[in-house]
């Protein structure tokens, strides 16, 4: 069934209408020449009129209003020459019904009403002009003729208006949904681009810090090389260790590097050591914010230290401040990883939409980031970062 629907949907509507028009012409011609209801003297006029009567179906999608008016005009004119299209040909109703629906569905409200008003006199003329049995006489006959005309045009036109309005609304909703999806993707891309741009500015701080440590340790090793070889050896090992950590940070961040002249590049590199100032700034804005540190603090590599700070900064500045309430930040040092948790009041949003950039950054260090909903209207954000690069304080 689905395959059949796909094939039908793939058909050219204009060709379908052309085939429909040809089929109606053939059907009306057969009735005009073979029906016993049509007198011999009226067959030629009926047969000729049938071609012009059904032909507008082929162009009903391009010119729905003109097609309907032309069709009913042909029906009215052929009556004057002895045609019997709408009197004794049963198939003659179909073109009027199809074109009435088209005028209602595919024209705007103003042009659709104008088309209906222009088409009605032609149908009324067909009903009241004399046919084989002469014109209708008496109130009952005239009322029946007008009732027949009303049934022929109004239901199809109304159905077209209803279906056309539904189609237009569906198209509008589809366009709105597509535009919303594009805007969401644009916001996500902008957030990621902003984060990558900031990484580019901060990368020089990470490398500068590591290189500075390496230079100091190498200088000390040179001076102690003869007087204290063991200490010089330790300094050289520290140089190697620091260099390896700098290379690791480069591998993680170089793929996301983006050159940007940002004034923040001249600022000191933030880390967990600046958390008290960050918490104090949030509390200074009138929000209750508490910082808890569990476990024995250890020296973190600049990359891990920076990412941990950014996770907490994102939770506090970008989200928690929007909703206020009580906020508790917990930093827990474990043997093999650093665990961060931010709990507070109010909703936190979807991780995929709000924190995709910072989650991607945590993932670069082999960590994880997730949000959850606590009891009542509270949120919780947890991040875990491996400490493979950390050394004891």
Residues 376 and 327 in one domain: yes
- Give the total number of structural domains in the chain: 3
CA distance 259 to 310: 20
DSSP annotation of 319: I
Residue 232 sits at φ, ψ, to 5 deg, of -60, -40
Angle between helix axes 275-284 and 302-313 (nearest 10 degrees) is: 10
Residues 326 and 352 in one domain: yes
Residues 330 and 247 in one domain: no
- Tokens 């960050």, located at residue: 278
Structure tokens at 141: 């006959």
Residues 276 and 239 in one domain: no
CA distance 81 to 272: 98
Q: What is the DSSP string of 19-80?
A: HHHHHHHHHHHHHHHH-TTS-HHHHHHHHHHHHHHHGGGGGTTT-HHHHHHHHHHHHHHHHH
Distance (Å) of CA 371 to CA 23, 142, 297, 303, 320: 64, 76, 25, 22, 13
- Tokens 């917990």, located at residue: 330
Distance (Å) of CA 167 to CA 48, 65, 68, 105, 123: 37, 19, 21, 9, 28
Residues 254 and 274 in one domain: no
Give the CATH number of the domain where residue 309 resides: 3.30.565.10
Using a cut of 0.85, tell me whether the model's pTM lies above it.
no
Tell me what pLDDT residue 188 has: 76
Is residue 153 situated within a structural domain?
no
CA distance 44 to 350: 74
Residue numbers of the domain that contains 366: 270-386
Helix or strand (DSSP H, E) at 297? none
> Tens place of pLDDT for every residue, the chain, 393 residues?
566 666 766 678 889 999 999 999 999 999 889 888 888 888 899 999 999 999 999 999 999 999 999 999 999 898 888 888 887 787 888 999 999 999 999 999 999 999 999 998 888 888 777 654 555 665 766 777 778 778 888 999 999 999 999 988 888 888 888 888 888 888 877 777 777 677 666 676 777 777 776 777 677 777 776 777 777 777 777 776 777 677 666 666 665 554 444 444 334 567 888 888 888 877 766 677 889 999 888 888 877 888 898 888 888 876 555 555 678 899 999 988 999 998 887 665 555 455 777 888 888 888 898 887 766 667 788 899 998 644 443
Residues 258 and 370 in one domain: no
Is residue 152 situated within a structural domain?
no
Structure tokens at 56: 């507008």
Residues 10 and 125 in one domain: yes
- Tell me which residue of 127, 145, 54, 70 sits closest to 103, measured CA to CA: 70
Structure tokens at 222: 């040179």
CA distance 339 to 343: 13
């Amino acid at each position: 069934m689905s395959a059949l629907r796909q094939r039908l949907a793939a058909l050219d509507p204009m060709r379908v209408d052309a085939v429909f028009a040809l089929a109606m012409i053939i059907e009306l011609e057969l009735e005009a020449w073979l029906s016993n209801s049509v007198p011999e003297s009226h067959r030629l006029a009926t047969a000729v009129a049938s071609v012009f009567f059904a032909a507008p179906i082929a162009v009903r999608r391009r010119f729905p209003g003109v097609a309907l008016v032309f069709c009913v005009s042909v029906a009215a004119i052929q009556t004057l020459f002895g045609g019997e299209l709408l009197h004794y040909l049963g198939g003659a109703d179909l073109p009027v019904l199809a074109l009435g629906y088209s005028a209602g569905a595919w024209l705007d409200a103003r042009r659709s009403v104008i088309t209906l008003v222009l088409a009605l006199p032609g149908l009324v003329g067909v009903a009241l002009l004399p046919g084989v049995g002469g014109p209708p006489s008496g109130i009952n006959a005239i009322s029946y003729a007008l009732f027949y005309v009303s049934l022929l045009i109004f239901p199809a036109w109304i159905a077209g208006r209803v279906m056309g309005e539904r189609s237009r609304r569906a198209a509008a909703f589809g366009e709105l949904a597509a535009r919303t999806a594009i805007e969401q993707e644009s916001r996500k891309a902008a957030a990621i681009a902003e984060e990558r741009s900031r990484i580019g500015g901060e990368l020089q701080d990470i490398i500068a810090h590591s290189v500075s440590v390496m230079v100091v340790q190498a200088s000390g090793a040179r001076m102690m090389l003869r007087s204290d070889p063991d200490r010089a050896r330790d300094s050289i090992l520290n140089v190697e260790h620091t260099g390896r950590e700098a290379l690791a940070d480069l591998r993680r961040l170089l793929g996301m590097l983006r050159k940007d002249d940002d004034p923040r590049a001249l600022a000191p590199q933030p880390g967990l050591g600046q958390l008290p100032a960050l918490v104090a700034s949030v509390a200074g804005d009138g929000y209750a914010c508490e910082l808890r540190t569990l476990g024995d603090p250890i020296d973190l590599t600049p990359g891990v230290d920076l990412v941990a700070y950014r996770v907490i900064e994102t939770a506090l500045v970008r989200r928690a401040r929007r909703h206020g309430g009580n906020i508790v930040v917990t930093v827990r040092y474990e043997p093999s990883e650093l665990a961060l948790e931010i709990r507070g009041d109010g909703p936190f949003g979807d991780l995929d939409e709000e924190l995709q950039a910072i989650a991607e950054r945590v993932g670069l260090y082999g960590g994880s980031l997730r949000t959850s909903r606590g009891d009542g209207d509270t949120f919780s954000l947890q991040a875990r970062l491996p400490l493979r690069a950390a050394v004891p304080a």
